[in-house]
A and B are shown apart, each in its own frame.
Chain A
Amino acid sequence: MNLSLMSLEIAVVALGLLVLLADLWLPVERKRMLGYAAAAVLAVLFLNSFTSHCSCAAIGESAFGGMFVQDGLSVFFKRLFLLAGALVLMLTVEFSDRVAAGIAEYYSLIIFALAGMLFAASSNDFAMLFVSIELITITFYVLTSFTRGKVAALEAGVKYLILGALSSAFMIYGIALVWGTTGKFNFNELAMVAGNFAGNKLFLFGVLFILVGLGFKIAAFPFQIWTPDVYQGAPTPTTAFLAIGSKAAGFVLLVRFLFSAIPEVTAQWANLLIVISAVTILYGNLCAIPQRNLKRLLGYSSIAHAGYLLLGVAALAGAIANGQSPTANAGAAAVLYYLAGYLFTTVAAFAVIVLVMRHLDSEDVSGLAGLHQRSPLLAATLTLAMVSLAGIPPLAGFFGKFLLLKAVIEQGAANPGFYCLAFTALVGVVISFYYYFGVIRAIYWSKDAAESSPIPLSWPMKLSVAACVTGMFYLGLFPGAVVNAAAQATRVLLH
């Protein structure tokens, strides 16, 4: 027992409970402000994670018999999640006028999902992995259909519930198979014996089923089917948190499972990862082309981005298969960097959606018409977000894609499949230009604007939009510090 190692998670859970309790005493008109308070607490926790007071400083320690580890990887992701949680809470406050009742519960559910993500970042054991995933997923079932007056939200909730439950079932089955063949629950112990089971079909099926569960979280092909409907129907802050938080949690679990628990099997499966990555990129980008609903479009684009992120995972698998070099972790480091950039970009995009689409029934792209006159700041923000998602300098998305491509091409010499993957990614990027520029076009040069009233911006919203834009530029222009941090964080994946 090493409870102090979990002090950050305990603090977040306590915050969630506190918000629930405060809800009982606060007058109705003040409840909205609870979100700002919670976001401020998360921001303080984020800043505190850089000091030596935080449990994040205790790198290399573990608790509960190795179930819970604190290493560079988990700390990087915890900071990412705290920042995402704070930004999403700010968004939620702005969204709160569209929630009929129980806004405090909405806040606390977001905080509980965040706690699940923090646990996921540290989980080093199948039990921990499953519990943290369920904590995230079950809170998201509620968050997805929170605006239960809307049919679309209910539909999204039901779809997410059914498919989520299915993928959880696969995952628990897989865990049972792996445990049944190896008798190990802990990733480190599993890593010692996994090589012996690389030919065991039962074990491999177990691994495959676990990948199904994780593939559902990150929305990789062929487990992406829920994404567009859920993204479209869910309340916008939920969608934003789903896009960044839930996806990042899926990736930290995936990376830890593939590379710390079963590196030998992963190395064998490099080609499988190449194929999944390539198909995910193409599927996401091609399906995004005809979309008119902005949230649905971002849903498909998030599938494509899962594919881009898998480039890094595949590159690391290839690097392990080819024998390690000092830069073998470049692929995983690129994934971390990309997620950091994706955080700012996605939050910025969804913030604009929350603000602009306030009075519209559906988030149709045409609702953006005339935005450059109604609010130049928001128009510029959404443009920058699209440009960054498309991967164009000088924004974060470009440097992230650059790192991913570099990691993939580096493996090309040993496995030509990686060259094909790089070209597939290239095709995907070019396709994505089409629909991202379609959004920019809707902002700046579509003719008939239905509305021309200026959009009022509260100062906390201005602050979070400014933070996102700064983040995009900082990561694009001065990537050095975060690149180093990501490289440092992923060193644990190389044994």
Chain B
Amino acid sequence: MTILTYIFLLPLLAAIALALVPRNFAVIMRAVAVGVTFVTMLLAVLMFWQFNGATADASGYKFVSTIPGLGAESLGIACKLGVDGLNVGLVLMGAIVAFAAACCSFEIKSREKEFYILLLVMTGGILGAFMSLDLFFFYFFHELALVPTFIMIGVWGRGERKNYATFQITLYLSIGALLALIGLIALYLQVPVDLRTFDIPTLTKHFADPANAMAASAQNFIFPLLLFGFGILVSLWPFHSWAALGYGSAPSATAMLHAGVLKKFGLYGLIRVALPMMPEAAQSWMQILAWLCLGNILYVGWVAMRQKNLNLLIGNSSVAHMGMIFLGIASLNLIGVTGAVAIMVAHGFLAALFFGLNGYIYNQTGTLEMSELGGLAKKLRFIGVAFVMAAMAGCGLPGFLNFVGEVSVFFGAWQVPALRVVTVLAVWGALIIGAVYMLRAVRAVMHAGMPEKWADVADANLWRKLPYALLIASLLVFGFFPKLLTEKIKPVTEQIVAMTKAKGGSLVALGSDARFPLTPALSPGERENRPQFLGKTGDGNRQDAAEKNESGLLLSPLPGGERRGEGGRDDTSKRFRILSQHAESAAAEKSPTARSP
């Protein structure tokens, strides 16, 4: 039992407790939901605070605990929870957003009992999915959180196309989840019978050993399943069409939790599972992913520009932001992936903020059609300011966490020569298109002339301001002190990037040796330097990233041809040894030359 156990179990136990309360005590339901998510949030903050001091287990995870009884031992399924730098920020973000979502649920006026039970189940599922160190429960908790989403949209959703949206999001996301499930099962079956387990650290260690590396054919079968399965869940272009309408029809709390937190599950799964376990396939698919992410940034950005409904605009912009995260993952280097994780956290706060504000405006005016709104900032002073700040964060203004993430992603992606065209287009899309639709929304909703009928809208009282203030504060705190987050993320992304790159030698086997034709061949001296540069890479802030960018293509993959020889392999294993701070890699052990300094 560690603090994680409580963070995870508290919402679920509260949901069971609420099921026993008679339905006419709606106030109690609301108080319990807000109270429990508040305590969960405090625990998550405490956990984040203690993270650096906590002792890690052999695989680098902290606060590891197992919930006894859950799962099936004979199949290697156990409910093991733990955090490392990759998910500690996501857990914190999830807990904060859950509290904000519970606060923003005042708009629910019917069947409060069912709503708050589902909200708490969703919260527990989300937090469980991000904490789970077991592949089975990782999927299990995600699905557990997904079903309440569907029901909440169907029952408490808004708009005429609610029913259509419910079924669309249900079927779409189920396809994605099931594709990923097949991929995960196939991954599990790659391990010999007597070693089979769903334990993520064990599996990672197993596949990191070159002796057990997965066959190229298996990787080429499983990786696309995970990429597109998770991709559908994250609204990767062209599988994004469920998102805008789904969020547009959802009650605010559901949209906040799903767009903000649950959607990150797919990205987290890609980084945690797909990249380190299937390095060769990851490298050969990243180019394709990079071009698909342009679909998100440019195409969906354009779509967002044309929206007339505020919620659809924000829904589309949230899809567009996913493109940036995919670009960071596709860069497959330390800065890029770290930036991607930072955007995952930042976008969680931002999406929750936006959908919460939309919910407030909808509640006051009864519409989100931008042609009917206007000048609301005159009446809604606090909400107006919060909305403008959210829009600015969405454009990537410095001072918000989004900026830290986006700029790291762009630096990371620029370092991969093959991705330069993509990067240029993405920067253009993110800065110009993003700014256009965000500012257009601000102008149409907050400024311009105010129609007479909105004369009596009221600004949020102190209590209603709380969730928005909390979310903005989180964005600003991490925006001004990104080290709080990036220092934690970095060691893990370092390790994951190293694992993904370590087996780059077999890129040749996959027939992609001409993948990075623009990379200049490094001289032996430069090659010696490379690991050291990597060792102190990315103290987390942008300046560092900028410096490194100037100092050359340090993190870019070697050309495939270089790796064919014995020398190339040494280089690879050496790099890997220095990079992996937690687990001594079998790759390094196997290569005697790599041991000598």
A positions within 8 Å CB-CB of B: 325-327, 372, 376, 387, 392-394, 398, 402, 405-406, 409-410, 412-413, 422-423, 426, 429-430, 433-434, 437, 440-441, 444-445, 477-480, 483-484, 487
- Known contacts A423-B182, A441-B154; A410/B189 CB under 8 A: yes
Q: Which of chain B's residues have a CB closer than 8 A to the CB of A413? A: 189
Contact check, A445 vs B155: say whether CB atoms are below 8 A apart.
yes
A402 close to B72 (CB less than 8 A): no
Contact B154 A445 (CB under 8 A): yes
A402 lies within 8 A of B185 (CB): yes
Give A361 to B280 CA distance when docked, in angstroms: 62
**Once the chains bind, are B154 and A405 in contact (CB under 8 Å)?**
no
Residues on B lying within 8 angstroms of A by beta carbon are 23, 69-75, 111, 114, 136, 140-141, 143-144, 146-147, 150-151, 154-155, 163, 166-167, 170-171, 174-175, 178-179, 181-182, 185-186, 188-189, 193-194
CA A11 – CA B141 in complex, angstroms?
45
Known: A326-B193, A429-B174. A480 touches B182 (CB 8 A): no
22 A-B residue pairings within 8 Å (CB atoms): A372-B114, A376-B23, A387-B147, A393-B141, A394-B140, A394-B144, A398-B140, A402-B181, A406-B189, A409-B185, A426-B178, A429-B178, A433-B170, A434-B170, A437-B154, A445-B155, A478-B69, A478-B71, A479-B71, A479-B72, A480-B72, A483-B74
In the bound complex, what is the Cα–Cα distance between A406 and B189 (angstroms)? Answer: 8
- Residue picked from B71, B111, B136, B182, most chain A C-beta under 10 Å: B182
The CA-CA distance from A398 to B69 in the complex, in Å, is: 18
Whose C-beta in chain B lies nearest to the C-beta of A440? B151
A406/B193 contact (C-beta < 8 A), A393-B144, A480-B73 known: no
Query: Closest approach, in angstroms, between the C-beta of B188 and any C-beta of chain A?
Result: 7
Q: Are B170 and A437 in contact (CB under 8 A)?
A: yes
A430/B171 in contact, CB under 8 A:
yes
Q: How far is the CB of A326 from chain B (nearest CB, A)?
A: 6
Which 7 pairs across A and B sit closest by C-beta, in order of nearness?
A480-B72, A393-B140, A393-B143, A426-B178, A483-B72, A479-B72, A445-B155
Across the interface, do A409 and B167 meet the contact criterion of CB distance under 8 Å? no
Partner of A478, one of B70, B174, B179, B188: B70
What is the CB-to-nearest-CB distance from A93 to chain B, in angstroms, rounded to a whole number? 27
Across the interface, name the chain A residue whose C-beta is closest to B176: A430
Q: How far is the CA of A2 from the CA of B74 in the complex (A)?
A: 36
Q: How far is the CA of A423 from the CA of B225 in the complex (A)?
A: 11
**Residues on A with beta carbons closer than 8 Å to the beta carbon of B178:** 426, 429-430
Contacts A437-B170, A480-B73 supplied; 17 other A-B pairs, CB < 8 Å: A376-B23, A387-B147, A393-B141, A402-B181, A405-B182, A405-B185, A406-B189, A412-B186, A429-B174, A429-B178, A430-B175, A434-B167, A434-B171, A437-B150, A444-B151, A478-B71, A483-B74
Beta-carbon contact of A433 and B23 below 8 Å: no
Bound form: Cα–Cα A484–B75 in Å: 9
A402 to B144, CA, bound (A): 15
Contact between B189 and A426 (Cβ–Cβ < 8 Å)? no
* B179–chain A nearest beta-carbon distance, Å: 7
**Among B74, B167, B175, B188, contact of A437 (Cβ-Cβ < 8 Å):** B167
Is B174 a contact partner of A406 (Cβ separation < 8 A)?
Answer: no
> Inside 8 A of B154's CB, which chain A residues have their CB?
437, 440-441, 444-445
**CB-defined contacts of B189 to chain A, threshold 8 Å:** 406, 409-410, 413
Q: How far is the CA of A394 from the CA of B171 in the complex (A)?
A: 19
Complex Cα distance A483/B136, Å? 15
In the complex, the answer to whether B74 meets A480 with C-beta atoms within 8 Å is: yes
Instruction: Collect the chain B residues with CB atoms within 8 Å of residue A409's CB.
Output: 182, 185-186, 189
The main secondary structure of chain A at its interface with chain B is helix
B143 lies within 8 A of A392 (CB): yes
Contact present for B171 and A487 (CB under 8 Å)? no
Closest residue of chain A to B70 (Cβ to Cβ) is: A477
What separation, in Å, do the CA atoms of A479 and B110 have in the docked complex? 36
Among A398, A426, A434, A477, the residue within 8 A (CB) of B182 is: A426
CA distance A393 to B142 in the complex (A): 9
Q: Shortest CB–CB separation between residue B186 and chain A, in angstroms?
A: 5
Report the tally of A-B residue pairs with Cβ distances under 8 A.
Answer: 86
Q: Least Cβ distance of A212 to chain B in Å?
A: 32
Chain B nearest CB from A325 CB (Å) reads: 6
Measured CB to CB, the closest approach of chain A to B158, in angstroms, equals: 12
A479 to B170, CA, bound (A): 26
What B residues does A406 contact at CB under 8 A?
185, 188-189
For B174, the chain A residues whose CB sits under 8 A away are: 429-430, 433
A484 to B73, CA, bound (A): 9
With A and B bound together, what is the CA distance between A412 and B72 in angstroms?
Answer: 23
Question: Nearest residue in B to A379 (C-beta to C-beta)?
Answer: B114
Cα of A392 to Cα of B167 in the assembled complex, Å: 16
A445 to B153 Cα, complex, angstroms? 11
Q: Which of B69, B171, B181 has the most A CB atoms < 10 Å from its CB?
A: B181
A316 to chain B, nearest CB (A): 16
Docked Cα-Cα span, A392 to B75, in Å, equals 19
Asked if A483 contacts B75 (CB within 8 A), the reply is yes
Question: Complex formed: what's the CA distance from A100 to B104 in Å?
Answer: 55
Contact residues in A for B186 (Cβ distance below 8 Å):
409, 412
Which single member of B71, B141, B185 contacts A480 (CB below 8 Å)?
B71
Shortest Cβ gap from A411 to chain B (Å): 10
CA distance A422 to B179 in the complex (A): 10
B353 to chain A, nearest CB (A): 28
B75 partner residues in chain A, CB cutoff 8 A: 483
| Chain B: CB-nearest residue to A326 | B193
Taking CB atoms, residues of chain B closer than 8 Å to A325 are 193
**A393 to B71 alpha-carbon distance, docked (Å):** 12
Q: Closest approach, in angstroms, between the C-beta of B150 and any C-beta of chain A? A: 7
B74 contacts across to A, CB distance below 8 A: 480, 483-484, 487
Docked CA distance A74–B316 (Å):
57
- Shortest Cβ distance from residue B268 to the other chain A in the assembled complex, whole angstroms: 18
Closest chain B residue to A399 by CB distance? B72
The answer to whether A398 touches B143 (Cβ under 8 A) is yes
Closest to B157 in A: A445
Residue contact A422 to B182, C-beta cutoff 8 Å: yes
User: For residue A484, which residues in chain B have a CB less than 8 angstroms away from its CB?
Assistant: 72, 74
Measured between alpha carbons, how far is A413 from B217 in the docked complex, in Å? 10
Query: A409 to chain B: closest CB distance in Å?
Result: 5
B198 to chain A, nearest CB (A): 11
Residue of B whose beta carbon sits closest to that of A325:
B193
Q: Could you tell me the distance in whole angstroms from the C-beta of B458 to the nearest C-beta in chain A?
A: 30
Residues from chain B with a CB closer than 8 A to the CB of A387 are: 147
With both chains docked as a complex, state the minimum distance between the C-beta of A156 and any C-beta of chain B, in angstroms.
32
Complex CA distance for A64 and B101, rounded to whole angstroms: 67
Give the Cβ gap from B18 to chain A, nearest Cβ, in Å. Answer: 12
Contacts of A398 in B (CB 8 A): 140, 143
A213 to B71, CA, bound (A): 38
Give the chain A neighbours of B144 by CB distance below 8 A: 393-394
List chain B residues, Cβ under 8 A from A487. 74
Distance, CA A394 to CA B143, complexed state (A): 8
Q: Which residues of B contact A480 (CB under 8 A)?
A: 69, 71-74
Cβ 8 A contact of B181, one of A327, A405, A440: A405
Question: When chains A and B are docked, how far (Å) is the Cα of A478 from the Cα of B67?
Answer: 11
Q: Which residue of A lies closest to B12 (CB)?
A: A394
Which residues of B lie under 8 Å from residue A410 when comparing CB positions?
A: 189
Contacts of A437 in B (CB 8 A): 150, 154, 166-167, 170
- For residue A479, which residues in chain B have a CB less than 8 angstroms away from its CB? 71-72
> Roughly how many angstroms separate A486 CA and B353 CA in the complex, as a whole number?
49
Distance (whole angstroms) from the CB of B115 to the closest CB of chain A: 11
Which residue from chain A places its CB closest to the CB of B175 in the assembled complex?
Answer: A430
In the bound complex, how far is the Cα of B146 from the Cα of A390, in angstroms? 13
A126 to B186, CA, bound (A): 39
Q: Which A residue sits closest to B194, measured CB to CB?
A: A326
Nearest CB of chain B from residue A332's CB, rounded to whole Å:
15
Please measure, in the bound complex, the distance between the C-alpha atom of A412 and the C-alpha atom of B190, giving whole angstroms: 12
Q: State the CA gap A394–B147 with chains docked (Å).
A: 10
Complex-state Cα separation, A478 to B75, whole angstroms? 12
Rounded to whole Å, the gap between the CB of B34 and the closest CB of chain A is 23
Q: Which residue of B lies closest to A380 (CB)?
A: B19
- Chain B nearest CB, measured from A438 CB (Å): 9
A179 to B136 CA separation, bound complex (whole angstroms)? 47
